Amino acid sequence: MLASIPSPSSNGFHLGPLFIHAYGLAYVVGVAAAVALTRIRWKARGGDPDLVYDVALWAFPAGIVGGRLYFIATSFNQMPKHWWGPFAVWDGGMGIWGGVALGALVGIWRLKRHGANVTQFMDAAAPGILVAQGIGRVGNYFNQELYGAPSSLPWALEISPVHRYSGYLQYPTFEPMFLYELVWDFLFAAFLMSLGRLRRIRPPAIFALYVAGYSGFRIFEETQRIDPSHYLWGMRLNFYVASALCFIGLCWFARAQFGTRARRPTDASCGEVSEPA
């Protein structure tokens, strides 16, 4: 093999007596990037950018809890075999749909308490969520997880023997699914931001497309991953979840964008505005 992506020598680093896990650090950086981007987009819609801080303060912890609960419910056999296993988020194991669902519910609760326009905020936040998800995949790289079938491509990912799944110990390099998703998340976020500059996009159509587009990629990803999973009719469980959410997202987009129900502005941030270039 002429080239490959090397494995990291460690999944974190020491800062004095503390060990900083790269997985957790990636989440923190991702959330900071999402907050910064959403503040810009929410302000362009006439909203108070400081509201983003309040929503993130509540939604991010809720997202961590929701993501872990989803992982426990669907992949309980992959948890560390200790009493603290359900809480060991630094070892990976976060179901993105559970995180988005609970984080969104808590975020909507905060928005309603402030009297803000929920659908406009959802559209403002969607690209930032994608950016955060993409940055979070860097943590998967350091944990040497989220990879696909054995591969000899120049960008194949080296996996240390201790992190290879049963039945694949003889293969040194694999498809870097974490990298594919990272690239998709960033490109799709850029697409949604470009689309959001068109006046004819009606909220929450951007968020609906986020749900459909991300889930659509996960349909592909679930056919490539080789990590342990629960199977139903020969396919990974999350393949069906992704397929259902992709369909729901497309229907939601069609209803939001092409539905005939009149939309009555409820506050100054509700008008359909073009976003800054």
Domain ranges for the chain, please list them.
12-258
Q: Which of 225, 169, 206 is nearest to 45 (CA)?
A: 206
Report angle CA 239, 245, 246 to the nearest 5 degrees: 85
Instruction: Specify the 3-state DSSP secondary structure of 127.
Output: helix
Mean pLDDT over the full length of the chain: 87
pLDDT digits (tens, 9 = 90+) for 123-154: 999 999 999 999 999 999 999 989 999 999 99
137, amino acid identity: R
- The reported pLDDT for the residue numbered 49 is 97
Whole-number Å distance between alpha carbons of 59 and 57: 6
Phi-psi region of 234 (alpha: psi -120 to 50; beta: other; left: phi over 0): left
Q: Tell me the pTM.
A: 0.87
- Between 113-122, 181-190, 260-269, the lowest mean confidence (pLDDT) is in 260-269
28, amino acid identity: V
Whole-number Å distance between alpha carbons of 77 and 55: 33
- The average pLDDT across 227-240 equals 90
Instruction: Specify the 3-state DSSP secondary structure of 231.
Output: strand
Q: Helices (DSSP H) in 45-176: which residue ranges?
A: 50-75, 96-114, 118-142
Token pair of 90 as six digits: 């630094």
> What's the burial of 135, exposed, middle or buried (CB within 10 Å: 0-12/13-18/19+)?
buried
- The average pLDDT across 84-92 equals 56
- The reported pLDDT for the residue numbered 276 is 42
pLDDT digits (tens, 9 = 90+) for 180-213: 999 999 999 999 999 978 768 899 999 999 999 9
- The average pLDDT across 91-101 equals 77
Q: CB of 42 within 8 A of CB of 121? A: yes
Does 7 score more than 50 pLDDT? yes
